[in-house]
A = this chain, B = another copy of it.
Amino acid sequence: MKLTQAIILSAAILAGHACLAQEVKEDFKPSILNQPGQEYPQVNSQGYVRFHIKAPTADSVRVSLGLGGRGGTLLTKGDDGFFTGTTEGPMDEGFHYYHLTIDGGVFNDPGTLNFYGSTRWESGVEIPAHDKEFYALKDVPHGNVQQILFPSKSTGSQRRAFVYTPPGYEKDKSKKYPVLYLQHGWGEDETAWSNQGHANLIMDNLIAEGKIKPFIIVMTYGMTNQLKWGHLKEFKIDTFQTVLTDELIPYVDSHFNTIADQSHRAMAGLSMGGMETHAITLNRPDVFSYYALLSGGIYTPEELQGKAKPKLIFISCGSKENPDKINQAADTLKQAGYNVVSYVSENTAHEFLTWRRSLYQLAPLLFR
């Protein structure tokens, strides 16, 4: 180990200890993502999470959630047959996936709702964010989220997508809307942006406040090729691009009140969905006019050169990711004459609060 590495590690350990020294406030409340009537997991006002798992004759229960690099949170067995424990420090605000390891097997916490991530339905917990109002369920007019099943000849299947239609969509049947195609990340699916992302509530609230012109959002499954984590570079976009541009878009345009042209179509994606957005918008600049990568990489002027110029490029990430890269890419693209907006979500990492906030920032910029 080099000396500099040793110093950095020591600093990290000290930071950890400083964190442990914080007094944990005993104001824990059930997470809002618990199953009906379930008291645990609980979250306190500092962002600590407390778990409480019944397994009377188990030897070991570990929770995957915890501070980075510590292997999660090991629970302690009590006399009442419950394993209990609290994260060693506060978690970032927003949504977190996790699971339990019980005597060596992976299971979900029976207290929580499940969310599809890491190619499995995982437990989820929500740390109330200081800005949570923008994605809260409020007494405002609500749009609908509808499951559609569309035929896909290229894959020989009936495929599922979810379509957000804004409030009032049903009433004025002559009105037509632009469409945002919005992709999930690796290991997630077409349920992620509604369940974890609250995309529908973000839209309902923005529309109620008069901050955006209503548009439709379409969310479908992007991992059309099966692939394992660590093999992202082997991902070929062709299969999904065909489903999206040749099958889903024509289906949506023929079944919904859309403005069916390039200048009223946007594509955005988070993480691997950003990779997909990047590839498809560059392959098919005739299809979309607004491009957005949320923790999903950048564009360079070289890639874009000689193609139809997008009306907007939006790139974002959490402040705990690589914001310098995002900001530098935005500067470079601006200098090359592109309309670029970059956004950095404060105090968040590669996680859903970054992406909820990114959508909240992006939506008012679309279809102007």
Residue positions of A touching B, CB distance < 8 A:
35-37, 53-60, 81, 100, 102-108, 110, 113-114, 119-121, 137-139, 142, 144-151, 158, 163, 165, 170-171, 173, 194, 200, 226, 255-257
Evaluate contact between B146 and A103: CB separation under 8 angstroms. Answer: no
Q: Which residues of B lie under 8 Å from residue A81 when comparing CB positions?
A: 104
Q: Which residues of B lie under 8 Å from residue A257 when comparing CB positions?
A: 170
Q: Once bound together, how far apart are the Cα atoms of A191 and B221, in whole Å?
A: 20
Residues A55 and B108 in contact in the complex (CB < 8 Å), given A114-B114, A146-B145, A146-B147: no
> Min CB distance, A117 to chain B, in Å?
12
Q: Which residues of B lie under 8 Å from residue A142 when comparing CB positions?
A: 148-150, 158
- Checking B107, B108, B151 against A139 with a beta-carbon cut-off of 8 angstroms, the contacting residue is B151
Other A-B contacts than A55-B102, A110-B120, 4 sampled, CB-CB below 8 A, are A36-B119, A37-B119, A58-B105, A106-B110
Evaluate contact between B104 and A54: CB separation under 8 angstroms. Answer: yes
Evaluate contact between B107 and A107: CB separation under 8 angstroms. Answer: yes
28 sampled A-B residue pairs with Cβ under 8 A: A35-B121, A54-B104, A55-B103, A55-B104, A55-B105, A56-B105, A57-B59, A58-B102, A59-B103, A81-B104, A100-B107, A102-B103, A103-B103, A106-B110, A107-B108, A108-B108, A110-B120, A113-B121, A114-B114, A142-B150, A144-B146, A144-B148, A145-B146, A146-B146, A146-B147, A147-B194, A170-B255, A173-B173
Evaluate contact between A107 and B114: CB separation under 8 angstroms. Answer: no
Closest chain B residue to A106 by CB distance?
B110
> Min CB distance, A37 to chain B, in Å?
7
Q: Once bound together, how far apart are the Cα atoms of A58 and B171, in whole Å?
A: 57
Q: Which residues of B lie under 8 Å from residue A255 when comparing CB positions?
A: 170-171
Evaluate contact between B170 and A120: CB separation under 8 angstroms. Answer: no
Q: Which residues of B lie under 8 Å from residue A171 when comparing CB positions?
A: 255
Evaluate contact between B158 and A139: CB separation under 8 angstroms. Answer: yes
Q: Once bound together, how far apart are the Cα atoms of A261 and B104, in whole Å?
A: 58
Q: Which residues of B lie under 8 Å from residue A226 when comparing CB positions?
A: 37
Q: Which residues of B lie under 8 Å from residue A165 when comparing CB positions?
A: 146
> Min CB distance, A245 to chain B, in Å?
21
Evaluate contact between A105 and B158: CB separation under 8 angstroms. Answer: no
Evaluate contact between B56 and A103: CB separation under 8 angstroms. Answer: yes
Q: Once bound together, how far apart are the Cα atoms of A178 and B138, in whole Å?
A: 30
Evaluate contact between A35 and B114: CB separation under 8 angstroms. Answer: no
Q: Which residues of B lie under 8 Å from residue A35 when comparing CB positions?
A: 119-121
